[in-house]
Structure formats: C-alpha cells, structure tokens
Structure 1
Amino acid sequence: MGDFLGSVWWLVVSLGLLVTFHEFGHYWVARRCGVDVLRFSVGFGRPLWSRRNRAGTEFAISAIPLGGYVKMLDEREADVPVHRQAYAFNRQGVWSRIAIVAAGPAANLLLCVALLWVMFMVGRQDYAPVVGQATGVAAQAGFQPGDRLLEVDGRRIATWTEAAMALATPALDRRDIEVRVEDAAGQELVRTLRLSQLPAALDEHRIPEQAGLTWRFLQAPARVETIAEGSAAQGVLLPGDLILAIDGTRIDAADQVSPAVQALGERGGVGMVEVERDGERLALELAPRRSTDPERAGRWELGIALARPEAPAYDAVQRYGPIAALPMALRETGRLASDSLGMMRRMVTGEASVKNLSGPVTIARAANASAKRGADWFLYFLALLSLSLAIINLLPIPILDGGHLLYYLIELVKGSPLSERAMAAGQYVGLALLAGLMGLAFYNDILGLMPR
C-alpha cells in the first residue's frame, strides 16, 4: 500500500474508531438520563448503512468518514409531540445536560487510558536513551558517549522518546535542568544542562539535537563499503572493515570519520587506522591525500565510501503485566495531558510556535508512519490522538462540547439559561474561531509537505 493510500486508510480507521467512542459516550449517558436518541452516525452525509434498535435509535454509517454525531430529541430543532417532550434533551436538568455533553470527551479520555494499558501489555518497543555524541550545550555539561539518561528534570525516563518529551518543556522555557545519567562505567552522575543557552531560533522538533545530544541508535557504524582505485586506502583497507579509531581518535559512528581524517591530514604524515576485520582488531598505517575533486578541493580523503545505515533494531521495550500496566497507563495519560496543555498554553502566549498545530494531512501521515512501526506504536498514536480530541473538545469554544459546558455553567450561576440570541451569537463566534484554527492547521500541513 502506497504512502498516500496508507495515510488515507489509517486516518479513516483512526478517526472512525475515536469518533465512535466519543459519540458513544454522548449516546450512553443520554440514554441513562432518559433522553431519546434519534440517530447515532459514524460519518456525515448520506447513510450507506443503517439499522434501528428497540429504542428507535437509528445507527448509521455515512458516506463522509471524517467525524460523526449523535442526534437527540430536541424542541429547538423540530416540533416534539407533547407525550415525548419529557424525553427531549432541552427538557433535562442542567446537571443531566452537563453529564451528557461531558461524556464525549470523558469517553476519549477513558479510551486513551485503555489503549495505553493494552500497549504496555503488548510492549512498546523503543530505543534506549544512550548518548552517542555530545556537542554544544551537552558537551559543556559534561555529557559523554555512553551516558544513559535516567531522569530529566525530575522525570524518570526509560526510552529516548520519553527523554525527548521531557526535554521539550524546559527547552521552550529556556530553563536550566538537572539530568541524572549512568555513565559507561555504570556510575550515576547528575549533569546540569543549561538550556537557557539554546539559540533564540529554536527548532522545536529537534530539541535534543540542538542541545547537542545525538542518540547512539542514530549513529551508523563506520563500515567500509567501497574503495576508490588509486586512493590512499587501496591495498590497506578492505570492504567490510569496521573503522574503530583514526590516529588515536575513537570512532563510534560514520559521521566521525571525516573530521578525524581532516585532523590527520592537517597533522601530516602517516597515522594508524584501527579496524575490525573478520573478528580481529587490526592497526593499519594510512596517510590521507588531498581530494582531486574540484568541489572538494582542499579536503583530505582516504578514498573510501561507507555503507549506508540500516534502520537500527530496537534495544528497549516497556512491557508490563495486566495489573502493573494500569498505573503506567494512568501515569502516561497524565504526562501526555500535561505536555499537551503546556504546549497549547505556550502557543497562545507565543512561547511556542503555532507551527505545532497540525491538521488532517499531518495526522494522516503520522497514522501511517505509526502503523508501519507496529501495533504498539499505532496504539500509542491512537491514545495520543484520543487524548487530543478530549482536550480540544473541552475548549470553551461555542460549537465544541466545551462551549456548551460553558453555557451550562453560566446557567448554573445566573439561575436561568442563556437567551437564544446570546447562544446564536456564541455559535457564530465559535464558527469563526474554528475556521481560523482549521485554516492555520491546513497551512501548517501544506508547509510540511514542501521540500526544505
């Protein structure tokens, strides 16, 4: 399945599942409160399939699979016979209406916990938060290759994904933090990472790298693939050699080879290149030569091409039994909610870029990418999206569930419902706000598709 079709498919699957749970929350509580539900639709437009239950509710799957709705009996939308008015939504007490409206976001919140619970039982595969290379701010803090991050700003972490998320908030706040690590010798140390020194133009999607942390799993081994004829390496190195050191400089990854070769060339003379060949460690003499390529004039070269990196295998997994997985799911839900709300607040105050607001195109691409990574990552994606839907729906914007809850809270305070005119005005404001947010999200989606 191509990326485009895969993205469309997984977007439809994701939204269909999450919207169904959201609307089921409204439906279930409405029925418990004695409200007649006329239609429960997954999707909009013309129904492709429908069936009625004993209570008279029509369950439908409609043609446009991007959303859904629950239509309740309501005198504000159509005439209701006298004998059925007691079952209309607008005739219910304010607390019943609050419960019915809040049930949708609550269902998404519960679904988030359930998905994370299943994910932790299946086992989320990830990479260990081990430093491969430290530069810039991280190097100033004393980070060394082989350091394993244990705790970031008071938050315990087990994977690089958790480490990246834990670094995001203090980096946006330009706040110095303490990071507890276990070094290559197994000793626990605390390093102070001065994120206040990060540049003003911060790429919020590459915070660890901008702090100078390159994860070990991202570093490709420096394995020789080909050797140019007449080059310095011909007759000395062989395809398949794994470069371990150049002139005494340890080589842990392919991107360290060129700087080491330049340093050796500038020193002049012959240097020792240590390689692993057929399980043996060899020390070979080599002297780099100046490049004859006009585009690389002045560069020192050995005349080798390194093998392209393959996707690294996961080296960490978070797996728990059914009982232990539940508190982990609750804790992860709390952390995700805190991070999401914090990011929203920072976008409003200008501390974070509004480029973090994503639309359906970005969501579709993320759905496809997570599905390719496996069931564990797709469950995580669904949980995050479900939580995001819960939070967005609770925003106090008319048209959204949060806007209706705001109306009902005002009704509780003043002792009577808002006037039809006031609610209609609020609906227009809500439409304008949603249109603006959707326009910005689509704009960000388009920018994300453009080559950089």
Structure 2
Amino acid sequence: MQTLISIIIALIIFSVLVLIHEFGHFIVAKKCGVVVNEFSVGMGPRLLSRVAKSGTRYSIKALPLGGSCAMLGEDEDNAEEGSFNSKPLWARMAIVVAGPFFNFILAFLLALIVIGYNGVDISYVSKVTEGSNAYEAGLRQGDRITKYNGATVSVGREIYLEDYVSPLDGSDISVTFVRDGKKQTISYAPDSEERYIVGISYYETDPKATISSVPKGSAMDQAGVVAGDEVVEINGTKISTGKDLKEYIDAHPFGKEEINITVKRNNKEKKVVVVPQMTKLYSSGFVYNLARDKQSVGGVLKYSLVEVRYEINTVLKSLKMLVTGKVSANEVSGPVGIVNVIGDTYNQTKSEGFMVTLFTMINMAIMLSANLGVMNLLPIPALDGGRLFLYIVELIIRRPIPKDKEGMIHFIGFILLMVLMVFLIFNDIRKIIL
C-alpha cells in the first residue's frame, strides 16, 4: 500500500511538472501566432477531447503522465502560415525557452507557499568558536553572511552547498558579512586537526539518521555505504535520529578500531564493518543558521527567488561535479530512483503529520521543477536547449540550418538520451536490489 501511495505521489508531481512545462510552450506559441494542433493532459489514447474555434484540439488522455503540445510543422520543413518554422527566429527561441521558464515560475510559486508558511534559513552566524581563526579575524555571532568563498549567499543552505561542492582544503576562507548595516570582508586560514573519521555527512535535525553524502574513497564509501542510507545502529547502540548519531559520535570518538554499523536501505538492513581513517580535517570556525524564520510579504517574495536560485545552482554544481569526476555516474538517479526517493521521503515524514509531509513533498517538487528547467536548457540535441543552441547558431551564421540536418541531429540526440535513460533505470534498479 505504501509503495502504491509513493508511486501515485511521484506520478502527480511528475505530471504537474511536465504539464506546466508543455503549457509554457503552448501559451507562448499561441501568443506568437503558431497553430497548436493539440494540447493534451496525459499521454496515450484520448478519453475526452474538444476542438476549439482556433482549431486546437484539447484532450484528456488515458495515462496521467504530464502532457504534450503539438505545434503545426514543428518537426517538419513546413513554412505555411501559422506553422512553427514560419515564425521569425526570436519567436521560435521564445517558444522553446518558455517550457523551462515555466518550470522556474512553478518553482517560484511553490517556494512562495513553503517560505510563506515555514520561513527561511537566513545566512547569519549562529556561533563562532572563541580562539578560532574566524574569531580572530573578527567574525561574530549574528553577522549576516552575504558571500562565502566568492559565492553569493542569502540562506544557510547555500553555505552548505559551497562546502559540499568545494570542501575546505587548507586554502584561505573568504567571508563577506554585514554587521550594523556595514559590510566587511575577511580572509583567514581554516582551523585544522587530525583525527579518525568514517566519512559521512548528515543533518543533526534530521528525524532519521539519514546520510546526506559519502565522500569518494572514505571508509564508509569503501564499506559500500551510499548517500541516502539510514544509520540505525553503531556497535550495538540503536540510532534513531540525526541527533542520536551526533550524540553517539561526540561520546565515542572514532579510533583505529573497526566499527560495526548497521544501515537501512529501501527498508532492508545491511551490516557493514568500517575502518576509520586518520584524516586532516578543516573547519571554518563558525556555525551558520539552518533554522527557518518567518518573513514579511517582501521577504517571502525575495527569498522565494533566492530559493529558485539555490535549486538552479545545486543542479549546475552537481553537473560540474559529475563532469569533473567528483561524483560517480552510479550516484546519479533516474526516474525509478527519484520515485524511490519520493517514497522514502514520504514514509519518513508521514509520522510527523500531514502538514510536514505536504510541505516536504512541495519542497521535492520545487527541486524537481528547477531540475527539469535546467536540464532542458542544456545544449543537448532533442532537448529544448539543443533547439535553442541551433537557433543561436542560425543567428550567428544568419541562415537557417537545413531541416534534414537539424532532424538528424535531434534524432541522434534522442537515441543517446534513450540509451542514457536505460542506463539510469538499470542503475536505479541495481541500487534498490543491492
């Protein structure tokens, strides 16, 4: 039953994201005078349909999987009046960009709901360790951080993202902050110490002791533990929450002795033996805020835009890590993996009550909507970004690319995307089984 509910929730989220994406193409195509042959909700055979005076068929189809917008002459060498290819270059570019742009609009609207209700984690310093390099450099509790190592930040999660993407390595830390209305910038060396660690990240506030990341080559990585696993026991001590995990680690610092850890993955427990590694650790010397504070109407609008920026940056930085090899292809999730994550998240939060579960699902939708928008803008053939790239080439060379060549480029891109999809689905299933 729980699996069925998880699948239904995932289908609803996916369908809304795709439908809004296609609606973006539809509404801008209409404004540009392009004939839309059909706009459908769902896929597969038609259940209901009606042809409007404009000639557009509006359909509801059997499979509740997003929707589609079929424009006249979109993939053909058709220049008749009202066809997609008869329109000027700026109009075709606007229609293509509209789909991803509407995904960003949806992410913004959903962020308004979440931030309006829950508030936002403003990026101020909640604690500075006395005697640390940060303290000596002048950083104090209450300072509002606006830049961290060159990255603009407005919420605490953006600082976490920077540390995750570019872990401290001994290089100087640059922090710009505001205190009493005055902006200051400091630079200092991170604090360092050597100790045994297993190599995991987690949130102390997590209702479950879920591992958020596992560095490549760490002790946990070598033991087969992956991000998303839930720690349930360490050396015979039961672990239920992120707070339990922190308290255990604080009370039992790791040494060179082996550790028996039990993790839960897809509701299956797995016992692993972990050998801690002596590692030089670097610290910024301060703790930043991750708790949410309520905002005024203006603050809700501002931080909803920040939320979209944060999600877009997360996708772009994750792609960079994938390309540079900091993240392996095995850590990338496809449709099955995303459904599984949505299901796990639902199961973990439902005991916290309806509102917690609802807003957690909305947060998932914000992340996925921004993800869909960014991925569709990548210059990959068969995606919106691939079409946009060819239109930019057309703008530069001042003549249209022959439709047969454009069609071949998109066909090859489609085949490659299908191969990638098969790999992702296989990888998702493998991770679930294992």
TM bucket normalised to smaller:
0.5 to 0.7
Gaps of 5+ in 1: 135-139, 181-189, 213-217, 226-250, 261-314
What corresponds to 1:40 in structure 2?
Answer: 39
d(CA) in 1 for partners of 2:73, 2:45: 22
Q: Any idea what SS the aligned residue of 1:317 has? A: coil
What corresponds to 1:312 in structure 2?
Answer: none
Q: 1:42 to 1:323 in 2, by over 3 A?
A: same
TM value normalised by structure 2: 0.65
d(CA) in 1 for partners of 2:320, 2:95: 27
d(CA) in 1 for partners of 2:246, 2:194: 29
Q: Which amino acid aligns with 2:106?
A: L
Could you tell me whether the CA contact under 8 Å between 1:150 and 1:156 is conserved in 2? no
Q: Alignment partner for residue 192 of structure 1, among 175, 190, 193?
A: 190
Q: What displacement does 1:150 show?
A: 8.0
Q: Alignment partner for residue 169 of structure 1, among 160, 165, 179?
A: 165
* 2:350 is equivalent to residue 350 of structure 1: no
Q: What displacement does 1:391 show?
A: 0.7
Higher mean C-alpha deviation, range 196-205 or range 399-408: 196-205
Q: Alignment partner for residue 120 of structure 1, among 115, 133, 139?
A: 115
d(CA) in 1 for partners of 2:327, 2:170: 11
Q: What displacement does 1:37 show?
A: 0.9
* 2:102 is equivalent to residue 103 of structure 1: no
Q: 1:450 to 1:257 in 2, by over 3 A?
A: same
What corresponds to 1:434 in structure 2?
Answer: 417
Q: Which amino acid aligns with 1:350?
A: G
Q: Deviations over 1:256-288 (max 9, x none)?
A: 66789xxxxxxxxxxxxxxxxxxxxxxxxxxxx
Q: Any idea what SS the aligned residue of 1:34 has? A: coil
Could you tell me whether the CA contact under 8 Å between 1:171 and 1:195 is conserved in 2? no
Once the two structures are superposed, the pairs formed by residues 137-286 of structure 1 within 5 Å of their partners are 153=149, 164-171=160-167, 177=173, 192=190, 205-206=212-213, 253=247
Q: What displacement does 1:197 show?
A: 11
Q: Any idea what SS the aligned residue of 1:86 has? A: coil
Q: What displacement does 1:155 show?
A: 6.5
Larger Rg: 1
d(CA) in 2 for partners of 1:329, 1:197: 40
Q: Any idea what SS the aligned residue of 2:326 has? A: coil
TM value normalised by structure 1: 0.62
Q: Which amino acid aligns with 2:83?
A: A
Gaps of 5+ in 2: 136-140, 177-187, 202-210, 221-229, 238-244, 255-289, 351-355
What corresponds to 1:330 in structure 2?
Answer: 305
Pairwise CA RMSD of aligned residues? Answer: 4.7
Q: 1:432 to 1:258 in 2, by over 3 A?
A: same
Q: What displacement does 1:350 show?
A: 1.7
d(CA) in 2 for partners of 1:420, 1:94: 14
* 2:387 is equivalent to residue 404 of structure 1: yes
Could you tell me whether the CA contact under 8 Å between 2:103 and 2:372 is conserved in 1? yes
Q: What displacement does 1:415 show?
A: 2.0
Q: Deviations over 1:67-87 (max 9, x none)?
A: 42100111855989xxxx311
The percent identity for this pair of structures is 30
* 2:16 is equivalent to residue 17 of structure 1: yes
Q: What displacement does 1:165 show?
A: 2.9
d(CA) in 2 for partners of 1:252, 1:200: 13
* 2:423 is equivalent to residue 448 of structure 1: no
Could you tell me whether the CA contact under 8 Å between 1:14 and 1:367 is conserved in 2? no
Q: Any idea what SS the aligned residue of 2:34 has? A: coil
Q: Which amino acid aligns with 2:308?
A: T
Could you tell me whether the CA contact under 8 Å between 2:40 and 2:68 is conserved in 1? yes
Q: Any idea what SS the aligned residue of 1:38 has? A: strand
d(CA) in 2 for partners of 1:172, 1:434: 35
